[in-house]
């Protein structure tokens, strides 16, 4: 197939093409901004992936805090901080910096502190009691997560503020999700290093400290690449001169959520999805081994390799997500297909099991099936949330990037908190003993009997419940086009009015 001129230019000079500051067509977002956004999300998600997926295991296996206590601690502080997200989002919506920007300066202000606090979460100071360890973890985590609320709302709010055109917002969301994917890969490399007998002569404490330095501090620096973006859609907040008026403005923005039914249905879906038994995969594979061509390999190594290979097809289609979604019948259709496919795949994987190497491989081969629609699931959800900002402005006259994206953050935190609460009790039910890992001894028979069921079938329950709100979701393309056309006319009229005032 012959390449067009743009494709030939991309092949000849890929970096020059990727970081071009000029849009290819009028109204398009320059590729340099999309590249900066992708790099920023890569940095943010390698940091968040380290904290979000590894902190629980660090507390049980390095700090040796009892599993029930860890579940309650991580669940409680996540719920507490999730309640701060709407406040952070409302404050963002009610504030403008001197240059008129609303979102990007928050990324610059918060990123260094977020990186440092994330690193401190994985420092073992040898505190003498479990109570002191819990106090330290709670104090650092609350500070980290409170700042993260501002950064995340601002960073993802750019999917709505970067363009007034829905197709360009979807394009920005697509590249943001690609950055999220690449950022999430790096924390996964940690699991093979935490095998039962350690790796490279390092114990779990040392491994965590090294990865925290690379992923948390490095990710905190990389997220600043997002400062290369532009806020094209701006609005002026209602003036608030007194603390009481500012407080009313915050309360008003939080109350405006009732107008965003798309966001509320997504919130309900995520909460229902989290209400199910679950356990992290590292608890299953950390002490398992398989024989490959006469050599004994840790399951963590094999799972990391197989997971990466199985994820390649789903990752590849991210680059064509918007086109695929159009052919599948829209973003909502993508979400439903992804949900039902994952549900079916989990049942099949449970039946296959992981008792032998061929079965383990088959589990990941089957995973490719659910990975295809799930590869663009997050893009679909985030694109619809970005469109909902435009819908709320069309309905109320107010833009709510901050509060909208903070609620998306709240979705993640609330569902994560519920999962952590439940995971602590699941580990207690499974009679998991972290001390056996350091001694390289196997877990009990009860653990091995039930852990696969909890891991595969437990989340299937929440997944089935999460599909109910998605079935109720209605935001057809016809309404989206009407909203976009009407808003374009309003902005044009507002621009003409502002020009007349200047002339007068």
Report the C-alpha gap between 249 and 272 in whole angstroms.
31
| Spatial distance between the Cα atoms of 213 and 118, rounded to a whole number of angstroms | 9
pLDDT for 12: 56
* Structure-derived torsion over alpha carbons of residues 350, 354, 357, 360, reported in degrees to the nearest 10: 40
Coil, helix or strand at residue 292:
strand
Phi-psi sector, 350: left (phi>0), alpha (psi -120 to 50), beta: alpha
Q: For 234, which DSSP code?
A: -
Distances (CA, A) of 370 to 164, 208, 311, 373, 375: 33, 31, 10, 6, 8
Under CATH, domain 30-230+257-494 is a member of which superfamily?
MFS general substrate transporter like domains (1.20.1250.20)
Cβ pair 446, 430 in contact under 8 A: yes
Report the SS3 class of residue 177: helix
Question: DSSP class of residue 100?
Answer: S
> Which pLDDT score is estimated for 327?
84
42, 182 in Cβ contact below 8 A?
yes
Tell me which residue of 32, 210, 36, 15 sits closest to 123, measured CA to CA. 210
Q: How many angstroms separate the Cα of 201 from the Cα of each of 58, 205, 211, 426?
A: 18, 12, 15, 31
Give CA 144 to chain center in angstroms: 16
Give the chain's residues under pLDDT 50.
Answer: 1
> Is the distance from CB of 154 to CB of 25 less than 8 angstroms?
no
* The pLDDT of residue 1: 45
Threshold 0.75, pTM exceeds? no
Question: For residues 270 and 285, what is the distance between their CA atoms, to the nearest angstrom?
Answer: 27
| E strand or H helix that includes residue 291 | strand 289-292
Q: How far is CA 86 from CA 20, 78, 415, in A?
A: 36, 14, 16
State phi, psi for 430 to the nearest 5 degrees: -80, -10
Distance set, CA 70 to CA 55, 201, 419, 428, 432 (Å): 10, 27, 12, 11, 13
How long a stretch of residues is the chain?
504
Q: Spell out the domain ranges in the chain.
A: 30-230+257-494
377 alpha-carbon distance from chain centroid: 12
DSSP state of 476: -
> Hey, which bits of 138-205 come out as E strands?
none
> What secondary structure letter does DSSP report for 296?
E
Contacts of 337 (CB under 8 A, 6+ apart): 328, 373
Please give the full DSSP string across 438-495, using - where no structure is assigned.
HTT-PPPHHHHHHHHHHHHHHHHHHHHHHHHHHHH----HHHHHHHHHHHHHHHHHHH
- DSSP character string of 397-432: S---HHHHHHHHHHHHHHHHHHHHHHHHHHHHHTT-
DSSP conformational letter for 199: B
- Here the tokens at position 424 are 């602590």
Please name which of 212, 97, 89 lies closest in space to residue 148, comparing C-alpha atoms.
89
The pLDDT of residue 241 = 54
The terminus-to-terminus CA distance of the chain in angstroms comes to 58
- Identify the pLDDT of residue 243: 60
């Amino acid at each position: 197939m012959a390449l067009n001129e743009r494709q030939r230019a991309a092949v000849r000079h890929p970096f020059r093409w990727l970081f071009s500051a000029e849009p290819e067509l009028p109204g398009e977002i320059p590729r340099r901004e999309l590249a900066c956004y992708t790099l920023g999300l890569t940095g943010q998600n390698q940091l968040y992936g380290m904290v979000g997926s590894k902190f629980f295991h660090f507390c049980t296996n390095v700090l040796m805090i009892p599993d029930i206590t860890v579940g309650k601690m991580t669940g409680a502080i996540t719920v507490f901080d999730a309640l701060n997200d709407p406040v952070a989002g409302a404050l963002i919506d009610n504030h403008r910096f001197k240059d008129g920007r609303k979102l990007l300066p928050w990324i610059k202000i918060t990123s260094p502190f977020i990186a440092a606090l994330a690193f401190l979460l994985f420092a073992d100071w040898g505190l003498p009691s479990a109570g002191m360890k819990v106090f330290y973890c709670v104090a650092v985590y609350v500070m980290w997560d409170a700042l993260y609320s501002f950064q995340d709302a601002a960073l993802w709010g750019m999917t709505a503020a970067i363009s007034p055109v829905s197709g360009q917002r979807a394009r920005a969301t697509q590249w943001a999700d690609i950055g999220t994917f690449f950022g999430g890969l790096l924390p996964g490399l940690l699991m093979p290093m935490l095998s039962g007998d350690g790796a490279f002569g390092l114990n779990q404490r040392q491994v965590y400290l090294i990865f925290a330095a690379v992923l948390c501090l490095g990710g905190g620096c990389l997220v600043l690449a997002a400062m290369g973006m532009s806020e094209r859609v701006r609005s002026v907040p209602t003036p608030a001169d007194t603390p009481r008026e500012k407080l009313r403005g915050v309360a008003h923005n939080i109350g405006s959520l009732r107008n965003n039914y798309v966001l509320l249905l997504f919130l309900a879906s995520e909460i229902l999805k989290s209400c199910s038994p679950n356990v992290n995969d590292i608890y299953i594979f950390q002490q398992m081994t398989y024989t490959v061509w006469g050599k004994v390999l840790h399951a963590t190594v094999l799972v990391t390799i197989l997971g990466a290979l199985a994820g390649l097809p789903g990752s590849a289609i991210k680059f064509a997500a918007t086109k695929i979604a159009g052919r599948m019948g829209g973003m909502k259709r993508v979400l439903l297909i992804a949900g039902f496919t994952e549900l079916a795949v989990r049942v099949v994987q449970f039946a296959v099991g992981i008792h032998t190497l061929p079965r383990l491989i088959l589990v990941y081969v089957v995973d490719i099936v659910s990975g295809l629609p799930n590869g663009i699931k997050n893009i679909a959800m985030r694109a619809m949330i970005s469109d909902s900002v435009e819908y709320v402005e069309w309905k109320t006259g107010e833009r709510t990037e901050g509060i909208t994206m903070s609620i998306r953050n709240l979705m993640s935190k609330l569902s994560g908190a519920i999962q952590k609460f439940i995971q602590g009790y699941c580990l207690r039910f499974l009679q998991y003993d972290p001390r056996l890992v350091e001694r390289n001894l196997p877990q009990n028979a009860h653990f091995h009997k039930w852990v696969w069921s909890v891991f595969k079938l437990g989340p299937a329950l929440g997944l089935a419940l999460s599909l109910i709100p998605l079935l109720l979701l209605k935001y057809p393309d016809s309404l989206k086009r009407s909203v976009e056309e009407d808003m374009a006319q309003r902005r044009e009229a507002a621009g003409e009015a502002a020009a007349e005032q200047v002339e007068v």
